[in-house]
Structure 1
Amino acid sequence: MSSPSSPAGPPTRTTARGRPAKLDPDRTVATALDLLDEAGLDALTMRRLAEAMGVQAGALYRYFATKQDLLTAMAERMLADRDTRAPGGADQGDWAEELTGRARALRAALLRHRDGARVFAGTHSTGGNTLGFAEALIGALREAGFGASDAARAMLAVVNFTLGHTLEEQAALGGEAPADPERLRLAVTESAFPHLAASVPVIAGGDFDAHFEFGLRLLVNGLRTLEK
């Protein structure tokens, strides 16, 4: 990755009055998300972002020292772009509604952007949207009687399941090499894989909503065994 001392990029764009184009963290993240939707994560580079903003590449490092810092800010913004609060779950004291509502909202936030799950994976934002999501989910579980450790692990299970599911979903539907269900159907013969063959309609069907909801039910049912 380039450093602030790298060779300068394209000339800085100026306004009609000759002033440099405004650069700030909010505009930078918004432009990065636009480029993400347009070209995908692999094509999102600091130099390309600088060109889109009309500034020299080194100027971006004033706010984001590395591309990972930028991705973390983008992940935080994703949670702001979608309401990741469960409607009424916590107020009703229903931890299961809070859990499932937030998981669904997180998935929707990631799906809203091309490669959204890839951007979110591996980031550790300490922004208000990310911390607020975790605080509310853990709080709902603790208020329901779960211990602090179980509540924290439950929150991680929800986030990791949602993230992993959405990674596969986006890869299957819009990746560089989208999944080909017919290839699986041809490979799974009833004589060699009788049980798998019986399940191919579900596996190759691509009903990601149903897969996601099934996984959520498993999480909730498993957590009920720990409920006080």
Structure 2
Amino acid sequence: MSSASTPPGARAAATTRGRPPKLDQARTVEVALALLDEAGLDALTMRRLAEAMDVRAGALYRYFATKHELLTAMAEALLADCLERPLPSPDWSERLAELAHRMRAALLSRRDGARVYAGTHSTGRHTLGFADTLIGVLREADFAPDDAARAALTLVNFTLGHTLEEQAALQVAGDGPADPERLRDAVTAAQYPHLAVTLPVLTSTDFTAHFAFGLRLLIDGLRAAGPGPAAPGTGG
């Protein structure tokens, strides 16, 4: 069929088919997260991202001057769904636990998600909204502002640290699950009696149970300390 007999709309579709979508910040983050799942954080480079998007590497710097800026935007995207559903309980401790579980699930939703999030300190609406909700739960329970802030930091740091270890334990150089036999072989009852008796838990990959236990200790500690005025010299 000659071009003269081809309808104009069909010619337009033919010329745009195969053309890479317009480069923008949102699509860049989307492709970066897909590459993260495919190859892991260590393999995610600006050059590899540019190749996946079929653009020159320099084009990415219009939106992200450094890789750290890209990671910050990726971290912001990780928390996008954390506040989509209302918190189910009026009890502050249950609301706090729910937020921690949602954050862990968000970090686990992507390969190396915790490593991406660590140290980014996004000021995007998802991150700030999550932090504001977390602190709001504590302030509504009558924790002093300084105590609420420190409790929120503790909860986030525990969740992040646990998930970092969890994702690391499930991989050996990104190639597969860690082998608990190494610890079992190294621990003898004669030399390490306390480790030996707790090996079933120490080598368990039930990270949900590990997380729930630590989170319960943290919240029980907050409940025992009790909300109230800030201690002298701490402000609030």
Normalising by structure 2, report the TM-score. 0.85
Counterpart Cα distance in 2 of 1:24 and 1:170: 30
Matches within 5 A, 1:77-226: 77-83=77-83, 87-89=87-89, 92=90, 94-176=91-173, 178-226=177-225
Greater Rg by CA: 2
Q: Does 1:42 align with 2:37?
A: no
Match of 1:59 in 2: 59
Task: Supply the distance in 1 between the matched residues of 2:208 and 2:28 (Cα, whole angstroms).
Answer: 33
**SS of aligned partner of 1:16:** helix
Deviation by residue 1:175-228 (Cα, 9 ceiling, x = unmatched): 416432111111110011111100001000111011000000010111012223
The root-mean-square deviation of aligned C-alpha atoms, in Å, is: 1.8
**Alpha-carbon contact 1:117-1:167 (below 8 Å) kept:** yes
- Distance, in Å, in 2 between the alignment partners of 1:46 and 1:75 is 16
Q: How far did residue 85 of structure 1 move?
A: 5.7
Percent identical among aligned pairs is 66
Match of 1:28 in 2: 28
Task: Give 3-state SS (helix, strand or coil) of 1:62's partner.
Answer: coil
Give the gaps of 5 or more residues in structure 2: 1-13, 228-236
Q: Contact conserved, 1:84 with 1:102, CA < 8 A, in 2?
A: no
Task: Return the offset for 1:16.
Answer: 2.9
The 3-state SS of whatever aligns with 2:225 is: coil
Q: Is the 8 A contact 2:97 2:215 kept in 1?
A: yes
Partners of 1:17 and 1:138 in 2: how far apart? 49
Contact 1:181 1:204 (8 Å CA) reproduced: yes
Mapped contact 1:85–1:102 kept (Cα < 8 A): no
5+ residue gaps, structure 1, are: 1-14
* Counterpart for residue 8 of structure 2: none
Amino acid of the residue matched to residue 75 of structure 2? A
- Deviations for 1:30-65, whole angstroms, at most 9, x for unmatched residues? 000000000000000001101111111000000101
| 1:153-195 Cα deviation digits (max 9, x unpaired) | 1111111101110011101113416432111111110011111
| Aligned residue pairs, count | 211
